[in-house]
Amino acid sequence: MTTTPTERLYFADPFLTRFTGHVIAHGTWNGLPSVVLDRTAFYPEAGGQMADRGVLGGHAVRDVQVDDAGVVHHLLELAEGTPLPAPGTELSGDIDPVRRRIHMALHTGQHMLSSALVNVAHAHTVSSRLGETVCTIDVDVEALDERLVAEAEAQVNALIDADVPIRAFFPTPEELAALPLRRAPKVTDNIRVVQITGFDVSPCGGTHCTRSGQVGLVRVLGVERYKGKGRVLFSAGGRARSELWQEAGVLRALSRTFSCAPLDVPASVDKLRRDLTEAREALGAARAKLAEATAAELAAQLERSPEQRVVAVLEGAPPEELRSVAARLTNRPGAVVLLAGRSPEGLAVLIARGAGSTFGCGAFLKRAAEAAGGRGGGRPEHAEGRLPPQTDWPALVASLLA
């Protein structure tokens, strides 16, 4: 296994997606075999940026990683029994250009947004992550003012419109000392710097755009707190455009549903919420009246029962309706109420007693559930459960009380 650092071709040309290199060794990464080349255009996962994907020597590249010696490991998708390409073999590599281009825009957009957050909110980036679906920037302040974050977003997009040059280079120690770095380098040798003209200078080994206009768009998706720090969720470039198109499609579909213009959807939703609130209030009032009427009808049975028990099945009644009816009946101290509500999903069961009764509601429901093949339980004074829909509740109660 070699310890010679791999030559990384993307340093000179981030748009390079096709190259050739020679196998100089086989290695391992997390127990998996890897191919080491003398040079590569594949970006290995590092600095919060995900690795490139593509094809190397006709095999799909499943991952790319770099070790502490600067050796880049290419992990290939190989059929069972297929050996790694032998040392000395020349391989052609093709990087997925769409993924590479998205990562370039996301990483450059992150540098821009991190710098803008310093400018407008004095919030310095402590970490960033460019994920498969979500990109984040964590800063050294506990809370971020969303208005300031919006101002930073506007500043970045103005810079994109200005289309300024972006330079990635390895300065001499003297040049490095004179540069106004936004943050200190994480390494001590071969420090690479990305300079966004007139806006940001940061040490970074990632793939970046060569002009700010290539980023296309930076979009803040949200602001939140994470582990006591402020966090900004963002997107950029092709990913941001794709997300906007998807959201616009959803908005257009909603506008057709509401028969209004896309920008009138919020007003239509507000009206729908008001209508829903009114409908819920009306439904609540109707249910209360129904519960009152049902309770009055069942109260007559209760009065005729020597044991002060009432057994009833209320067709279609949900558990909340059973509770409402039971509450009106158990104000009688000695009452025992055994109610069921039948629906296609099953038989909702509620058993409750008045304050003066000693009937064991939970124990009785447990017996009923065991007998009918359902489930349920509760306290001595109140129990709820669900039995199979075909259960004959009055007959089951009668058999258990016999």
The 10s digit of each residue's pLDDT in 8-66 is 999 999 999 999 999 999 999 999 999 999 999 999 999 899 999 999 999 999 999 99
- The answer to whether residues 110 and 246 belong to one domain is yes
- The answer to whether residues 46 and 123 belong to one domain is no
- The answer to whether residues 194 and 306 belong to one domain is no
- Of 71, 95, 119, at which residue does a domain stop? 95
The 10s digit of each residue's pLDDT in 102-129 is 999 999 999 999 999 999 999 999 999 9
CATH code of the domain containing 145: 3.30.980.10
Q: Is there a domain that residue 61 lies in?
A: yes
- The answer to whether residues 78 and 106 belong to one domain is no
Gap between the Cα atoms of 74 and 42, Å rounded: 8
The 10s digit of each residue's pLDDT in 349-371 is 999 999 999 999 999 999 999 99
Check residue 363 and give its pLDDT: 95
- Of 255, 285, 301, at which residue does a domain stop? 255
| Residue 345 confidence class, pLDDT cut points 50, 70, 90 | confident
- The answer to whether residues 174 and 90 belong to one domain is no
Q: Is there a domain that residue 39 lies in?
A: yes
- Of 64, 95, 126, at which residue does a domain stop? 95
Gap between the Cα atoms of 399 and 402, Å rounded: 5
For strands 90-95 and 193-196, give the pairing. Answer: unpaired
Return the half-sphere exposure (C-beta side, CA atoms, 13 A cut-off) of residue 281: 6
CATH code of the domain containing 24: 2.40.30.130
How far is CA 309 from each of CA 9, 281, 357, rounded to the nearest angstrom? 86, 32, 10
How far is CA 296 from each of CA 289, 300, 306, 321, rounded to the nearest angstrom? 11, 7, 18, 14
Q: Residues 230, 144: contact at Cβ < 8 Å?
A: yes
Q: Residues 16, 9: contact at Cβ < 8 Å?
A: yes
Gap between the Cα atoms of 65 and 6, Å rounded: 11
Which residue do the tokens 């969303």 mark?
A: 146
Neighbouring residues of 306: CB distance < 8 A, sequence distance ≥ 6: none
- The answer to whether residues 213 and 128 belong to one domain is yes
Check residue 81 and give its pLDDT: 87
Check residue 173 and give its pLDDT: 92
CATH code of the domain containing 379: 3.10.310.40
Helix (H, G, I), strand (E, B) or coil at 55: strand
Check residue 245 and give its pLDDT: 95
Instruction: Report residue 355 as tokens.
Output: 């304050």
Gap between the Cα atoms of 177 and 115, Å rounded: 19
The 10s digit of each residue's pLDDT in 148-184 is 999 999 999 999 999 999 999 999 999 999 999 999 9
Q: Is there a domain that residue 285 lies in?
A: no
Q: Is there a domain that residue 274 lies in?
A: no
The 10s digit of each residue's pLDDT in 272-282 is 999 999 999 99
Q: Is there a domain that residue 30 lies in?
A: yes
Mean per-residue pLDDT of the chain: 94
- The answer to whether residues 366 and 308 belong to one domain is yes
- The answer to whether residues 77 and 104 belong to one domain is no
- The answer to whether residues 119 and 236 belong to one domain is yes
Domain that holds residue 137: 100-255
Q: Is there a domain that residue 193 lies in?
A: yes
- The answer to whether residues 138 and 174 belong to one domain is yes
| Residue 302 confidence class, pLDDT cut points 50, 70, 90 | confident
Region 181-195 average pLDDT: 91
- The answer to whether residues 104 and 200 belong to one domain is yes
Q: Is there a domain that residue 184 lies in?
A: yes
Instruction: Report residue 25 as tokens.
Output: 């060794």
- The answer to whether residues 109 and 232 belong to one domain is yes
How far is CA 381 from each of CA 176, 339, 361, rounded to the nearest angstrom? 78, 14, 6
Check residue 1 and give its pLDDT: 65
Q: Is there a domain that residue 328 lies in?
A: yes
Check residue 228 and give its pLDDT: 86
Q: Residues 347, 353: contact at Cβ < 8 Å?
A: no
Q: E-assigned strands of 87-198?
A: 90-95, 125-130, 135-139, 166-169, 193-196
Check residue 108 and give its pLDDT: 98
**Domain total for the chain?**
3
Gap between the Cα atoms of 19 and 115, Å rounded: 34
Nearest of 339, 341, 342, 347 to residue 382 by alpha carbon: 339
